[in-house]
Amino acid sequence: MKYVIIVDSMSNMPEHVLKTRDNIKVIPLNIHIKGEAELDLLNTEQLRQFYRKNPLTEGTKADATSPTPEQMSVFLLNEIAPHYDCALFQSTSAILSDVFKCIKECAETIEQDAQVIRKMAGITEPFKLLFSNSGNSSSGQTVLALYTDALLNTGIAPVAAVENANQFKKVVTTYSIISDIMEARTRMKMVGHKTISMTSAVSGQLQRNAPLVSLRNDEFKIHHLKITYKQAIKSLFEHAEKCIEDGLHLPIIHVSYAGRVRDLHKMKEFQSLQNKAKKHRVTVISGMMSISACINYSTDSISLGIAPKDQKAEPAWP
């Protein structure tokens, strides 16, 4: 049975990773910037040009929405069903997007239509579409997808892999530094958190605060609110280094940056993380945030996905 793992573009799955894994595909979200609608960018060079122009300046009206049922159907029937026998769709957290809701509603119809297409192509093997809510977003989604891929490579049945991944997602955490605290307030309100008042947001913006937050299994948490961008970077990467020392459930860390990745690589804290990871044989994957993720987090934000064994450890105050 030939399988494929599908994630949405909020996962920030780097293009260089996709090129080495034919069994992982990305479905783009819809993005709207200054009234113009287009699909999220997946190409590295296009993302470089996007961040070079930096169109998401303060006050820019922008949002990212789930693919429509029609778009999901076209994607799955044209790019997936004719080539794979089983698709495992892992959506971004259901508290952040309607991707999971959408695939859940249209999965049965897509499966039925896929059988017709495959029969016309002479494929007798039935097509199976499995779907789950990753409970995560951004870099954590990539970590979960890579774990699921490793599972399937052992020969485990897809249904068992989904069940296993649904347990594993409980230990995957996405830490995020949100460079714009006003944007952080807006996004937190969207997921039911009213921790940041308008007064605090205005004050924090004047002080250039960059909240350090996390998402794990659909649970959103604020670790440091009144913290500067530089302090947040120090806190985040030092925490990741400690997690490496204490042990990881999966020796992979994914870091995405809402900007040119070379600027991320210049950060001494990131370089220190790379050195620590190398000593402990942990792979650090880095890349640019998708536009949909950037819209949610704001330009210059950083996302780090990790599966630490110590689930109680939290980023320390720098």
CA–CA separation, 261 and 41 (whole Å): 15
Cβ atoms of 40 and 318 closer than 8 Å: no
> Cα dist. 150→21, 171, 250, 299 in Å?
11, 16, 10, 32
Q: Give the mean pLDDT of 225-246.
A: 95
Answer CATH for 3-170 from 3.40.50.300, 3.40.50.10170, 2.130.10.10, 3.10.129.10 = 3.40.50.10170
Bridge-based pairing of strands 30-33 and 36-39 is antiparallel
Cβ atoms of 161 and 123 closer than 8 Å: no
Cβ atoms of 171 and 39 closer than 8 Å: no
303's tokens: 């996302």
What is the phi/psi pair of residue 95, to 5°? -85, -10
Tens digit of each residue's pLDDT (9 = 90 or more) over 85-139 = 999 999 999 988 899 999 999 999 999 999 999 999 999 999 999 999 999 999 9
CA–CA separation, 142 and 305 (whole Å): 8
Cβ atoms of 201 and 181 closer than 8 Å: yes
Look at residue 183 in the predicted model and tell me its pLDDT. Answer: 67
CA–CA separation, 80 and 84 (whole Å): 6
Kindly tell me if the per-residue pLDDT of 39 is higher than 70.
yes
CA–CA separation, 282 and 300 (whole Å): 25
Give residue 59's identity as a one-letter amino acid code.
G
Number of C-beta neighbours around residue 146 at 10 A: 21
Tens digit of each residue's pLDDT (9 = 90 or more) over 182-234 = 766 665 565 455 666 777 666 666 567 788 999 999 998 989 888 999 999 99
Domain parsing of the chain, residue ranges: 3-170, 171-306
CA–CA separation, 173 and 218 (whole Å): 10
Per the prediction, the chain carries an average pLDDT of 91
| Strand, helix or coil for residue 222 | strand
Enumerate helices (H) and strands (E) in the chain, giving the number of each.
12, 13
Kindly tell me if the per-residue pLDDT of 282 is higher than 80.
yes
**CB-based contacts of 296, cutoff 8 Å, min separation 6:** 10, 64, 96, 137, 187
Share of the chain above pLDDT 90, in %: 75
Share of the chain above pLDDT 70, in %: 92
Look at residue 193 in the predicted model and tell me its pLDDT. Answer: 55
CA–CA separation, 114 and 80 (whole Å): 9
99's tokens: 């991707």
Q: How is domain 171-306 classified at the CATH fold level?
A: Hypothetical Protein Tm841; Chain: A;domain 3 (3.30.1180)
Look at residue 295 in the predicted model and tell me its pLDDT. Answer: 85
152's tokens: 């399937």
132's tokens: 């789950």
Give residue 226's identity as a one-letter amino acid code.
K
